[in-house]
Structure 1
């Protein structure tokens, strides 16, 4: 499972699916909201909308006003530009219900306005009006052929045939009889059901239409309302609205576009939401995981403080949002692109950065660093620590707090008296209270600084090795006084501990020397008597074998005692050194020559990496030889047979270094520092002849000569190094000779 979570390819597929499901959901929600913001969800046809109802009533009222003008004798031609489909110029003036106007020229303009609107060729709205008293007929230009044919065929019954045809064939019509004040329509039948009985084609609005046609709304040219008789008014919207460019056609296209998108989004939206939720959960589960590790992997951005990361993401989203908004507005208004494509562009700009910030938040939460890596948490932890320390160190903090409280109170009182003086002028009272507060604060700061400087200087003397030195505390004040007393007590403790340590080391050295001397005296007698027994030439072979073993073990014991005494002297510094200028290269070559046979007997090959030119050091010849001898003796005892021993001498500006490398025959499951302790051997089985003192003696002898003895262990590789201060024989010859003479 961890392998799947850490797969980069699967993560990419999940992010692509998440992006697409989010985009589908966003566009779908936009289409649903866009439709429901304008229409009811129960509306399925354009003619069921409030837009159609209100616009249809508006055109019916225009027919009434138009007929009123025609009955008054106004006539005009229809102005039509066949090269233009933009009808906005026709609707610049909206005269709902024209009032009486004696200005014939203005009335003619109003009539031309309604004439142009109602008699547009190819309009989706057609009207037919007949004056039953005078027989005058007014109808749309598009009905001229149909009305002429019906009149020719049916004569006086032409109107009845036309009305029957309208009722039978048209899905949207309104027929009004002004005499009976009744009307028939199929426009608001479905609309009434969808809008709880609220409609536009109601009695109040249609009575206005009847009154307008009858001339009761506006006066005629003579100022009389007139008795025009009764009318049959028939208005119709053509089926399927063939003209897509008039008002009804434009609204129909807009409705159809919204409705189709709305219907197409009803099913994808819930599916997209489920998929978005699914892929988002997968994204949360997979983020932060990588192959070959179970831990949550954080990137560099995740490690910055949570608040800073949050502000960066919010600021980035803010910038990208306004960038996307500006770009979308430009594209929408200048390139005339569908709005859901604008959503795609804006979503594509904002999605990566928003997801980057969200995934960073998720990784922080999964790694449990969201709170711990925040600035507030850091401030809270530090504040909590300060408060704890405040109460723990109350002997000091309470003093400082009281001092600051007194200083603040004095300053507040000084400013109060400055604005409301009691005895003296405001400046005098302010200075009398304020200056002592500053003087008190300054005195405390200077006194604390002096006490701190005394402690710093006196503790420096103690740190330089003068453990018996005491800090003078007679003139000090709290809290520095307590600190000085504590340091003096520590100094007393250090002095006692050092004295006890020195005494212990001295007694230990004396014990080792005395015991070694006491053991060495009888051991010498044993060795002498063993030699005497060998000279007797005993005939018993077993006795001779026993003598050989006894001789070997006594000599080994003698060597161990001598090494122990030498180690004791070296560690205590009881050895007298004879410092002289020594050629280190020559000394190493001599040592290798003396060990050549013993190394060869263990099948060890020596590889020298030594320059021919001399390397001079100031050292004791005997002690330095003993250091090298102990190293080679260690190699001879513990090196793996059949391997090589590498001996190098390197130099730099200040030091000359001898390094000896070999492969150990036994596993070196031990620390290098521990290996240089007394009686510690690399052979844990202790089957070899070593005493475990050789490396300890070498380190002590090197330290006495200001040299550094080091051991490095790398698996079974053993490397011993000795760093000596280097001398230039030619530039320091006089100095060396003088120091040699002083020592002798």
Structure 2
């Protein structure tokens, strides 16, 4: 009986000691969470009393802390991107609007000559068309980026699609004095994609190359193991590796992305459409040649 009594006392002491340390660890964890929630610290929870259940609980709490930090960072980045987008679109709208209003005032002058009236009217028309294009592209991008944007994936012969799109840019190439180098295999290259979206992507990339090429344009299609790759490259005079990082951002102002009369939304629209088709788009810069590469699953 004596040994049984001693054994019970030992067990009781062990349980009480364990209860004491567990309770102390819970209070300590509560204090750490309170300091974290009050922004008094950014340190995650740690434990001193090693118990597998407590360890598991602290691990899950720390995982939640990581998720919360990531969500906060993503929200802050999204808010900053929205502010920048609003700032850029405000600037891009204000510029042609200021020009339009200014030349309208010139037209109101009675002694203006017919030739100047015609010239100012054309400037107003050009400004209005640029403003129209900007608003249409911005609206299109906002629609594409919606989660429920419809995509009809089907088997497409990318060779034929590229040639069809190229025919529509014959005059545009001539006006810039450009003769594109076209490398498209004779064999049919099949991809899984949305036909309308594929055409829009190709149009945007060719238009981008025509506007900003400083000498040549190359259009190449290649077959990989499980994908088909379209590369459209053009020579550029002023572009850096840093520009490549932001090239597909809305309204990013780089020489390649914004020079001329573009809206700055062609590449972001192409990126959004490629992502919707489970494809990818990237940019590479080598020895003054910018290459934009699209990949579709075959």
Counterpart mapping for 1:678-689 below 5 A? 678-683=250-255, 687-689=259-261
Report deviation, 1:651: 0.7
Q: Which residue of 2 aligns with 1:721?
A: 293
What is the SS of the residue equivalent to 1:667?
A: coil
Aligned to 2:263: 691
Taking a change above 3 Å as real, the CA distance of residues 674 and 541 of structure 1, as seen in their structure-2 partners, is same
What corresponds to 1:488 in structure 2? 61
Q: Does 1:603 align with 2:174?
A: no
Give the secondary-structure state (helix, strand or coil) at the position aligned to 1:586.
Answer: helix
Identify if the C-alpha distance between structure 1 residues 604 and 570 changes in structure 2 by more than 3 Å, giving closer, same or farther. same
User: How far apart are the structure 1 equivalents of 2:233 and 2:199?
Assistant: 18
What runs of 5+ residues in structure 2 fail to find an aligned partner?
Answer: 1-48
Local SS of the residue matching 2:225: coil
> Scaled by the length of structure 1, what TM-score is found?
0.28
Is 2:133–2:263's contact at 8 Å kept on the other side of the alignment?
Answer: no
- Residue equivalent to 1:551: 125
Inter-partner Cα distance in structure 2 for 1:567 and 1:652: 30
Q: Secondary structure at the match of 1:582?
A: strand
Alignment partner of 2:282: what SS?
A: strand
Equivalent residue for 1:569?
143
How many angstroms does 1:567 deviate by? 2.5
- The residue aligned with 1:657 is 229
Distance in 2, Cα, partners of 1:698 & 1:708: 10
Work out which of the two has the higher radius of gyration on C-alpha atoms and give 1 or 2. Answer: 1
Equivalenced residue count is 229
For the pair 1:624 / 2:193, whether they are aligned, the reply is no
Higher relative contact order (CA 8 A, sep 6+): 2
TM-score by length of 2: 0.66
Deviation of 1:637 (Å): 1.0
Tell me, yes or no, if the aligned pair for 1:681 and 1:690 is still in contact at 8 Å: no
Q: Which runs of 5+ in 1 are unaligned?
A: 1-475, 727-744
Tell me the CA shift for residue 686 of structure 1: 5.4
After TM superposition, what 4+ stretches of structure 1 lie above 6 angstroms from structure 2? none
1:667 counterpart (209, 218, 238): 238
Give the SS at the match of 2:58. helix
Going from structure 1 to structure 2, the CA distance change for 1:572 and 1:684 (only over 3 Å counts) comes to same
Which deviations, in whole Å up to 9, do the C-alpha atoms of 1:548-576 show, x marking residues without a partner?
11111111011112222222333443522
Asked if 1 retains the 8 angstrom alpha-carbon contact of 2:201 and 2:274, the reply is: yes
1:589 aligns with 2:194: no
Q: Which has the higher strand share?
A: 2
- Among 699, 702, 706, the residue aligned to 2:278: 706
Q: CA deviation at 1:690?
A: 2.2
Measure how far apart 1:483 and its partner are.
5.8
Contact preservation (8 Å) 1:709, 1:721: yes
Separation of aligned partners in 2, 1:583 and 1:701: 18
Alpha-carbon separation, structure 2, partners of 1:622 and 1:609 = 22
